[in-house]
Structure 1
Amino acid sequence: MDSSVNITILGPGAVGSLWACYLQKAGHNICLWTRNSTPSEQLLSLSANENSSHQFKCNDKQALNDCDLLLITVKAWQVESALLPLLPSLSKETILLFMHNGMGAIDDLKEHINHHPILQATTTHGALKENNTNVIHTGYGNASVGPFNPLGKQCQFIQDVLNHSLPSVDWNPEINIALWKKLAINCAINPLTAIHQCKNGQLAQPDIHQYVMNICSEVHQVLQEENIEWTENELVSTVTQVITATSANYSSMNRDCFYQRKTEIDFITGYLLQRAEFHGISAPTNLSLYNQIKQLEENTL
């Protein structure tokens, strides 16, 4: 494979569009795959340190046939319905890279996709898609990528592809640990900011912060059973740092509730509750938040 990689991005929302622009800037061949599947062209303007404009092909069947890497950036609850129709068009060598919030979305698909090299990634970059054509890089962060299955272990070069495009990206053979830590933080921040319709910084207020502490206590019990080495103090400290660093931001779940969209609660708090039940752990605070978000969804969708 030469230095230019053929990449199709499934789900050009904020994060997908951000990576599309940076990967194209770095010289890779990028195609977007959108919900309507009709071949078209898409112009994206990236607002970042250096503003730039990018033209992409959308829903190009040949590009899908030829893609070396399928970057999957749809919401966790969309993964199955978005990916399954594309599988017959992919080469068996096509690498599948999942980059979404939450956990559990791939588990039910394993038998359909395990012949592909599979990678998972987590990122702290902030992105906002103002409309169909403008994406803003709202916060610079980093990313980790690592293998989901044995074939994925042979794909460490993808770290170089991503890092050369939007640094910094590290290769993490234990990506599951990074995903669990991200899930823990999301459990503590996302549902509360959605229910209270507040920015992340407001979770530092004493009346709400007690809920944050209760969530962290329950989450930590599950982390211990999942053999994730992270003390409760470290978890609380990290959550507090994230609340402070992103104090002016709205969480993705906050925005989903605000715009009356389906949330990723089933793959964040819902996944935590599944694992808690498996380990015989009671998690009443997280269960209450889960039920409140599901009620909000039912009332609006």
Structure 2
Amino acid sequence: LAVAPKITCSMIRPHHLINLCCKNTKTKLMSTSCVQRDLIFPMHTLGGGSIGLLFAAALQKSCGDVTMLLRKHHKPRLSVTSCEKSSTATNYFAPVQVCRPSDRQIITTCDIRAEIIGDVHDPIECLLICTKANDAITALSSIWDRLDRKNAAKVIILSNGALAIRDSIQRHFNDHQDVQIITATTTHGAYTEQSSNTESNISGYCVVHAGEGLTYCTNNKFIDACQKVGWKGGALSEFEMNMMLWKKLAVNCVINPL
């Protein structure tokens, strides 16, 4: 087997660093009509895959006030309760189990509030993107109008390919200056399998936390929330985050050549 070469900062050319610094400056620009608030809860998560479920469950248990944004095909896996405000509306909850890979012992179980994309139109103050990179812009487009621009809504990109997603947001959405675009990365490993919940007809979700890793972000509040879970990581400057994401991209290109 070929051994992946050691990735060093010297592999990133100086003109790349200049370009990164310029792009970081752009992400800080806010419309004068926005009021920037340093809050990440209530949080909405976008992406119903293993990492999205893992982070939603962990943050729900430690901090609460997490809502998953899901597409319509997830409905059969959700539990339903009547909404007090309306006789026709419904509240959805995603039953999630997180277990260990070795013996499948359940680490945590929780019911996470869920919304079907297109059914709810309330403002979103903080959005955690956990989709696949190729699906990020399409998924984000479906809820972009819900972002609370008056309070400079936060969009935290946890997906692989965060730099490309950030650049795509700036190209695709003309009013991206009214939101805070925040990059993050994690080395936690997870995958989904059939839920072991046999007490009802609701299958729910089962996430196997295959490996504990590290989580980094340019937002201190998000890192504080992850540390409350007991996860390790840290807050980085935007320059440090860009360097880390570029090195991660280089390693992925070596391990998974296109």
- TM-score, scaled relative to structure 2: 0.64
Shift of 1:161: 1.9
Which residue number in structure 2 is paired with residue 181 of structure 1? 247
Cα separation, partners in 2 of 1:62 and 1:169, compared to 1, 3 Å: farther
Structure 1 segments, 4+ long, off by >4 Å, are 1-4, 60-64
Which residue number in structure 2 is paired with residue 22 of structure 1? 58
Structure 1 regions of 5+ residues with no counterpart?
A: 147-154, 192-289, 291-301
Aligned to 2:179, which of 91, 101, 116?
A: 116
Aligned to 1:169, which of 233, 246, 249?
A: 233
The answer to whether structure 1 residue 8 and structure 2 residue 68 are counterparts is no
Structure 2 regions of 5+ residues with no counterpart?
A: 1-36, 76-90, 195-203
Shift of 1:41: 2.4
Shift of 1:89: 1.2
Q: Is the contact between residue 63 and residue 225 of structure 2 (CA under 8 Å) also seen in structure 1? A: no
Which residue number in structure 2 is paired with residue 256 of structure 1? none
Which residue number in structure 2 is paired with residue 126 of structure 1? 189
Shift of 1:90: 1.6
Cα separation, partners in 2 of 1:88 and 1:143, compared to 1, 3 Å: same
Shift of 1:57: 2.1
Shift of 1:62: 9.4
- TM-score, scaled relative to structure 1: 0.55
SS of the residue corresponding to residue 210 of structure 2 reads: strand
Shift of 1:4: 8.4
Cα separation, partners in 2 of 1:88 and 1:20, compared to 1, 3 Å: same
Relative CO higher for 1 or 2, CA cutoff 8 Å, sep ≥ 6? 2
Which residue number in structure 2 is paired with residue 100 of structure 1? 159
Q: Partners in 1 of 2:69 and 2:144 — Cα distance?
A: 13
Which residue number in structure 1 is paired with residue 122 of structure 2? 65
Q: Is the contact between residue 97 and residue 110 of structure 2 (CA under 8 Å) also seen in structure 1? A: yes
Amino acid at match of 2:110: H
Cα separation, partners in 2 of 1:79 and 1:97, compared to 1, 3 Å: same
Cα separation, partners in 2 of 1:88 and 1:67, compared to 1, 3 Å: closer
Amino acid at match of 1:11: G
Which whole-Å deviations, capped at 9, do the CAs of 1:207-233 have from their partners, x for residues lacking one? xxxxxxxxxxxxxxxxxxxxxxxxxxx
SS of the residue corresponding to residue 105 of structure 1 reads: helix
Cα separation, partners in 2 of 1:33 and 1:3, compared to 1, 3 Å: closer
Q: Partners in 2 of 1:47 and 1:127 — Cα distance?
A: 10
Amino acid at match of 2:111: Q
**Identity within the alignment, %:** 27
Equivalent residues in 2 for 1:145-224, closer than 5 Å: 145-146=217-218, 155-173=219-237, 174-191=240-257
Which whole-Å deviations, capped at 9, do the CAs of 1:150-195 have from their partners, x for residues lacking one? xxxxx4322212222252121111211110111111111123xxxx
Amino acid at match of 2:154: I
Q: Which has the higher strand share?
A: 2
Amino acid at match of 2:211: G
Which residue number in structure 2 is paired with residue 89 of structure 1? 146
Shift of 1:63: 7.9
SS of the residue corresponding to residue 109 of structure 1 reads: helix
Q: Is the contact between residue 68 and residue 95 of structure 1 (CA under 8 Å) also seen in structure 2? A: yes
Q: Partners in 1 of 2:72 and 2:227 — Cα distance?
A: 31
SS of the residue corresponding to residue 31 of structure 1 reads: strand
Shift of 1:105: 2.1
Cα separation, partners in 2 of 1:73 and 1:5, compared to 1, 3 Å: same
Which whole-Å deviations, capped at 9, do the CAs of 1:26-55 have from their partners, x for residues lacking one? 032111111228663211111148622111
Q: Which has the higher helix share?
A: 1
Cα separation, partners in 2 of 1:142 and 1:11, compared to 1, 3 Å: same
